[in-house]
């Protein structure tokens, strides 16, 4: 299952820089994870200061 980014996102960009798949892009008000590209590795969740990326 892919990760999703909750509304807790503060748009710091840490998750985008950490994603080895390039599955994270800046969206409208928060970052967004492309479920088809996400490898479910959890790297984004490990670096997020507010815990916004969560396993779906």
pLDDT of residue 1: 80
From the first residue on, what is the mean pLDDT of each consecutive set of 10 residues in the chain (56 residues)? 95 98 97 97 98 96
Q: Domains for the chain: give ranges and CATH numbers.
A: 3-55 (3.30.70.20)
Long-range own/partner contacts, residues 19-28 (CB < 8 A, 24 or more apart): 19/43, 19/44
């Amino acid at each position: 299952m892919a990760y999703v980014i909750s509304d807790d996102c503060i748009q710091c960009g840490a998750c985008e820089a950490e994603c080895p798949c390039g599955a994270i892009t800046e969206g409208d008000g928060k970052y967004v994870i492309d479920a088809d590209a996400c490898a479910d590795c959890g790297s984004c969740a490990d670096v997020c200061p507010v815990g916004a990326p969560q396993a779906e």
